[in-house]
Structure 1
Amino acid sequence: MWHDIKRIAALAWPVLIGQLAVIAFGVMDTAMVGRASAFDLASLALGGSIYITVYVGLMGILVALSPIAAQLYGAGERIAIGEEVRQTFWLALFLAVPGFLVLSHPQFILRLSEATPELEARATAYLHILAYGLPAAMLFRVYSSLSTAVAQPRIVMMIQVTGLVLKVPLNLALIYGVDRLGIPALGSTGCAIATTAINWVSCGLGLLLMARHPKLREFGVFTKFCWPQWQAIRALLKLGVPMGLSYLIEVTAYSFMAIFIARLGDVTLAGHQIAANLGALMYMLPMSIGIATATLTAQAIGSRDYQAAQRVGRRGVELAGTLGLLVALLMWLGRPLVLAAYTSDPLVAAVTAPLLTIVAVYHVFDALQVNAVFVLRAWKVAVVPTVIYALSLWGVGLGGGYVLGFDVGGLSPAWLHGATGFWAANSASVAVAAIGLLMYLRWVVHVKGMATSATNAQA
């Protein structure tokens, strides 16, 4: 038991640090741009919501490389990994084309927000610049997926931390300007330039390490050139499209919840934003455990050690659930400190206080569901989990939140009106997803075990 937990922890902690660095990007952008002007902050929020939706949906497809490469790594098929990576590079470039077009021509999406012409123009400029960084971000995701699949997350972490270090001076110079260097204050546009530059730096470092790092060089990714092979790309899409949809469902569920809550006023929206930020921060720990668990599970599957795959997957879910309970308890006990750290406004604190209790409950189920879905991906199972996500997050979460928060039909109790109703429904949706995914995971593992026993008996 402890051996498996140590292996999971050894892979999880670099992933956690890297993901916290990525989260810090968004926090830093919001804080710095917010000091420039409220107008720039609004353009960042509007443009950023569009960018993250496009990027996450496309990036999720490329993550399919991780379970495929991890299973090949477990099977000792090093040359096959290099071929899969080359095909994933082609897929990343193909996917970057529609992403670039959407980001460089976002007017049809921006008009849905009914923003002022000035705000729409600034958000458009922000997205135009990010469009040029999207191909780099997609290529870096290929490198990240490969490194994680072969249990080398530290080299991904180092690039992500390096990007964060570079982000500070670039943001300072481009957002606020430097008179003696002739750099004007660009606000949110400067933030986009900094992000695009770091995307290309990270991409360059990733490609260099893929060619030179001793743990990655053995796959021979750059030893030969090959054209797209549609059979291999089709296999990536078969697994990647439902994975990308599941990421997209998660993003849109939370973005639409914010849009609905915005109707309730600035104070309520601020309270929701605190709860959402805290939930996202807490999510990084179970997600890191999930990525580590999926890597070890897929490697065991590739080596045909199905008992080890089942055992490691189970240990990962148990570890995430236990730590989820502990983190939720600590957060709940420290609610006054959390509120004081986030806001000094008594009205915002009053709205946020009941949400923190719900976030604590929500986190426990969130920890379980994310680990269950990552283990299922290790078994190359993605379609049913995506359906479970859609029914729970969109149906129970968004639909239920709308009914409770806005008291549709007059049946919602008063304490569930407003943001509390949305968060209660969201927690219920995550609980439904966790139960459904865990039950399905148990069935998948049972079926795989039965198939393996039958194969061994025939042999």
Structure 2
Amino acid sequence: MIETATMRAKVRQFLYILIPIMVTQIAMFSMTFFDTIMSGRYSADDLAGVAVGSSLWMPVYTGLSGILLSITPIVGHLIGGGRREKVSFSVMQGVYVALVISAATYALGFLLLEPVLGLMNLDENVRRIAFEYVIALSFGIVPLFLTAVLRGFIDALGKTRTSMMITLMALPLNVAFNYVLIYGKFGFPELGGVGSGYASAVTYWLIFILAAWIVWRHEPFSTYRLFYRLPRATFSKWKEILVLGLPIGLSIFFETSIFSAVTLLMSEYSTNVIAAHQAALNFSSLTYMIPMSVSMALTIVIGFEVGAGRFHDARRYSLIGIFMAIGVAVVGTVVIFTFRDTFAHLYSTDSEVLELTAGFLVFAAIFQLSDAVQAPVQGALRGYKDVNVTFMMTMISYWVIGLPLGWALARWTDWGPYGYWIGLITGLTCGAITLSVRLRMVQKKHTSRLEA
């Protein structure tokens, strides 16, 4: 990361950081994407089971790992402010927090997984597959959260290509493990959709081991001497990580868990409707990796500029990221709408599931536009370390406006299950508007402080 003087230089540096993040995010999500697709090819029950299990796991994972996203702005502010000597200590405290979060995740799963699945009106086989899939994934919880800390450190240094290469090396292995364990090849047991959970867990361990080795052995990461000694746990630093990270994690949780809530509410429909809904949601989640990547890149560059006191440069980066995300979303909306039938065939060969999936993908296409604003704006606000108001806005937009509206449309109109998607789109749009207003207020405050 370097200081830039012109808009062209900013665009160049932003793309240099963004593109590897985007590739990494798409590759990481592709593990769940391939889990769903390959399980769907095994059977409709496995598609529904893996999709339901994934929809329960993702908000927990993204919400709790969202807490660890605070490592990126913390390290970014330290480096931007010329306090490199404090970076190693902060990252190691993040490692400790990640271990505590892992333990909390196991406790939550032990207490809640079976009761939550019991609330859903699922076929017994679908419920079994969903339960066993999440259990299989759980073997990768510890490396998954530890990798989140290491990636936050790596990305804060602007070395996003390193994260990209680590994930790209692991993705083909994940697909191969899926093939072997889902379909029972080369003497391994035929586990169906559950096998994809074990495949992902093994891949998470490989990614962590590779990331830890690179941080330990290769410059510029090795110059920070992570893992050379284990500092004592310092709760004041934990407090800094959690005070910044908890609102981030909760914002992400409220955004992602609403999809799980919709899945829970849609359990009153047939297995084919659930499978089609989850297939469309899986695909839209894949396309969401683009605005999410822009969001993460904005956190890095804005954190660096704000740490150095260059607030005008931070504002220019926010404009670059938001307009870039909107442009990509417009193209994505047209592509999904045009080729929705083709995309539906990726998930199933069942004629009813195909028709329903294509219908849900129409709404997924519209989804892209709101996501293109709200996700980058959230990333920009994290770069400013402004997270508490963002959390409240997110909760109100999704849970007070979006979900109740979707439930009402599904129950009292002819939209049926599609009504939930209309509610989701409405909630996202409200979030995009209110968060944009908040970003403008934060930027004005920093700019006026600089001029004063």
Q: TM-score, normalised by structure 2?
A: 0.90
Give the corresponding residue for 1:16: 22
Q: Is the 8 A contact 1:300 1:306 kept in 2?
A: yes
Give the corresponding residue for 1:207: 212
Shift of the 35–268 alpha-carbon distance from structure 1 to 2, 3 Å rule, reads: closer
**What RMSD, in angstroms, separates the aligned Cα atoms of the two structures?**
2.5
Q: Match of 2:309, SS?
A: coil
Q: Is the 8 A contact 1:104 1:131 kept in 2?
A: no
Deviation per CA, 1:75-102: give whole Å up to 9, x if none. 2222211111010001001111111223
Give the corresponding residue for 1:418: 416
Give the corresponding residue for 1:457: none
Moved more, 316-325 or 76-85: 316-325
Residue number among 31, 38, 49 corresponding to 1:32 in the alignment: 38
Does residue 369 of structure 2 align to residue 371 of structure 1?
no
Q: Is the 8 A contact 1:290 1:374 kept in 2?
A: yes
C-alpha distance in 1 between matches for 2:220 and 2:151: 13
Deviation per CA, 1:380-430: give whole Å up to 9, x if none. 1111111111111112211101111211xxxx4x4xx22332222222211
C-alpha distance in 2 between matches for 1:79 and 1:206: 21
After TM superposition, the structure 1 = structure 2 runs for residues 99-138 of structure 1, keeping only pairs within 5 Å, are 99-104=105-110, 106-113=113-120, 123-138=130-145
Deviation per CA, 1:326-381: give whole Å up to 9, x if none. 33234445556556666776655654556544433331121011000000000011
Does residue 434 of structure 2 align to residue 436 of structure 1?
yes
Q: Is the 8 A contact 2:132 2:194 kept in 1?
A: yes
Shift of the 274–110 alpha-carbon distance from structure 1 to 2, 3 Å rule, reads: closer
Give the corresponding residue for 1:301: 306
Moved more, 340-349 or 352-361: 340-349
Residue number among 149, 153, 160 corresponding to 2:160 in the alignment: 153
Deviation (angstroms), 1:176? 2.6
Q: Is the 8 A contact 1:294 1:313 kept in 2?
A: no
Higher relative contact order (CA 8 A, sep 6+): 2
Give the corresponding residue for 2:4: none
Letter in structure 1 aligned against 2:387: A
C-alpha distance in 1 between matches for 2:153 and 2:369: 29
After TM superposition, the structure 1 = structure 2 runs for residues 289-328 of structure 1, keeping only pairs within 5 Å, are 289-328=294-333
C-alpha distance in 1 between matches for 2:343 and 2:195: 31
> Identity, % of aligned pairs?
27
Residue number among 396, 401, 406 corresponding to 1:401 in the alignment: 406
C-alpha distance in 2 between matches for 1:269 and 1:188: 16
Q: Is the 8 A contact 1:8 1:289 kept in 2?
A: no
Letter in structure 2 aligned against 1:436: T
Give the corresponding residue for 2:173: 166
Deviation per CA, 1:242-285: give whole Å up to 9, x if none. 11111111121112223333434345445433432332232222
Q: Is the 8 A contact 2:140 2:201 kept in 1?
A: yes
C-alpha distance in 1 between matches for 2:61 and 2:372: 23
Letter in structure 2 aligned against 1:74: G
Shift of the 96–171 alpha-carbon distance from structure 1 to 2, 3 Å rule, reads: same
Q: Match of 1:390, SS?
A: helix
C-alpha distance in 2 between matches for 1:291 and 1:362: 19
Q: Is the 8 A contact 2:59 2:252 kept in 1?
A: no
Give the corresponding residue for 1:445: 443
Q: Is the 8 A contact 1:103 1:130 kept in 2?
A: no
Deviation (angstroms), 1:175? 2.5
Q: Is the 8 A contact 1:53 1:248 kept in 2?
A: yes
Moved more, 320-329 or 229-238: 320-329
Does residue 99 of structure 2 align to residue 93 of structure 1?
yes
Deviation (angstroms), 1:125? 4.1
Deviation (angstroms), 1:317? 1.4
Give the corresponding residue for 2:53: 47
Shift of the 112–346 alpha-carbon distance from structure 1 to 2, 3 Å rule, reads: closer
Residue number among 284, 305, 320 corresponding to 1:279 in the alignment: 284
Deviation per CA, 1:177-229: give whole Å up to 9, x if none. 346x4x32233443332222211111111111111120211222223221110
Q: Match of 2:224, SS?
A: coil
Q: Is the 8 A contact 2:48 2:278 kept in 1?
A: no
Deviation (angstroms), 1:154? 1.1
C-alpha distance in 1 between matches for 2:194 and 2:446: 51
Q: Match of 1:214, SS?
A: coil
Deviation (angstroms), 1:34? 3.5
Moved more, 105-114 or 371-380: 105-114
Shift of the 293–172 alpha-carbon distance from structure 1 to 2, 3 Å rule, reads: same
Letter in structure 1 aligned against 2:278: Q
Q: Is the 8 A contact 2:31 2:175 kept in 1?
A: no
In structure 2, stretches of 5+ residues that fail to align are 1-6
C-alpha distance in 1 between matches for 2:125 and 2:326: 47
Q: Is the 8 A contact 2:20 2:164 kept in 1?
A: yes
C-alpha distance in 1 between matches for 2:301 and 2:331: 24
Q: TM-score, normalised by structure 1?
A: 0.89
Shift of the 274–127 alpha-carbon distance from structure 1 to 2, 3 Å rule, reads: closer
C-alpha distance in 2 between matches for 1:330 and 1:124: 35
Moved more, 282-291 or 108-117: 108-117
Larger radius of gyration: 1
Aligned residues: 445
C-alpha distance in 2 between matches for 1:329 and 1:4: 29
Q: Is the 8 A contact 1:313 1:375 kept in 2?
A: yes
Shift of the 452–59 alpha-carbon distance from structure 1 to 2, 3 Å rule, reads: same
Residue number among 425, 437, 443 corresponding to 1:427 in the alignment: 425
Q: Is the 8 A contact 1:104 1:127 kept in 2?
A: no
Shift of the 41–143 alpha-carbon distance from structure 1 to 2, 3 Å rule, reads: same
Give the corresponding residue for 2:3: none
Q: Is the 8 A contact 1:79 1:220 kept in 2?
A: no
Deviation (angstroms), 1:2? 2.9
Does residue 226 of structure 2 align to residue 228 of structure 1?
no
